[in-house]
Amino acid sequence: MKKLLLQLDGSTRPSVFDRVVAFDGGADEVMSYGGVTPDSVRDLVHGAIFTRGPKDLRHTAIFIGGTDMAAGERLLAAVQQAFFGPMRVSVMLDANGSNTTAVAAVAKIGQAIGPLAGRRVVVTAGSGPVGTRAAGLLAKAGAEVTVTSRRAGDGALAARIRERFGGAVGELPLAGAARAAEVLDGAEVLLNAGPAGVCLVERGAWADRQGLRVVGDVNAVPPVGIEGVEATDDGATRHGAAAFGALAIGKLKMKIHKACVARLFDRNDLVLDAETIAGVADELGV
């Protein structure tokens, strides 16, 4: 019986990236749908759950992608509402790769620094999809997390992350890359989760800073997000800190993404979102 992955993508054209990784993760066939909205989910999901018998449902699974994580979350909710008691299949949410990227970044940090409990961590661009998830996973692991964004300050962003993940999360505004030092007070870890091609932390703000032990950056497109980190850095020492660049994080992200696709077909009731994807990464020993 073929392992079938139903790809639900909010973008007009379903992601080629996600299709390729789906195949490489072990799906035999990918049924791709673009322009998927919450109200169109039910029929698609029913087609997936009412075709194979209960004992065979683990051979069908759903992947929710797209470029918009908020839209992806709405699709995930609609998918779960469309399930019918035991008639359900495993589902993974990874819009824009945000979950697997955040999990990979957090795993790299953990490799470098050991247990995260009590560590002071700053996540720049913590309002984006990778940032909120990375911050949440770090907080859930016991770190004291500060997220920054241009508009942070009223506490709404930090509250939103705490509500989902628990733990200790605060927020600070970051006015510009040159003023990044202001948010790094006491930080042991700096993770940039900002968009491609935007430098959020100038070299002078973090280089050889006392107490700073790890820097990570998910932006591979020059200029990178943390000046002085190379995209290929995979633990190299840069200005006194262990540095992880976007390509090293991305390589681990791919491994996690593929492993998650494979897991979807182990059973029919998995829901792979940030926390459970982190669990898969733990099991991989990454």
**Which residues here bind its own copies, judged by CB under 8 A?**
1-2, 4, 6, 13, 15-21, 23-24, 29-33, 40, 43-48, 50-52, 60, 254
Q: Which is nearer to its own copies, 57 or 214 (CB)?
A: 57
* Intra-chain end-to-end CA distance of the chain, in Å: 31
Cα–Cα distance, 60 to 266 (Å, whole number): 10
**Sequence-separated (6 or more) residues with CB below 8 Å from residue 249:** 101, 104, 105, 108, 216, 217, 218
State the minimum distance, in angstroms, from the CB of residue 74 to its own copies: 17
Cβ-based neighbour number of residue 261 at 10 Å: 26
State the minimum distance, in angstroms, from the CB of residue 261 to its own copies: 12
Q: Which two tokens stand for residue 105?
A: 């970044």
State the minimum distance, in angstroms, from the CB of residue 277 to its own copies: 18
State the minimum distance, in angstroms, from the CB of residue 242 to its own copies: 24
Q: Which is nearer to its own copies, 51 or 81 (CB)?
A: 51
Q: Which is nearer to its own copies, 6 or 145 (CB)?
A: 6
SS3 186: coil
Q: Which is nearer to its own copies, 156 or 284 (CB)?
A: 284
CA 148 vs CA 2, 66, 180, 246: distances in Å: 45, 25, 10, 19
Cβ-based neighbour number of residue 142 at 10 Å: 14
Q: Which is nearer to its own copies, 61 or 158 (CB)?
A: 61
State the minimum distance, in angstroms, from the CB of residue 17 to its own copies: 4
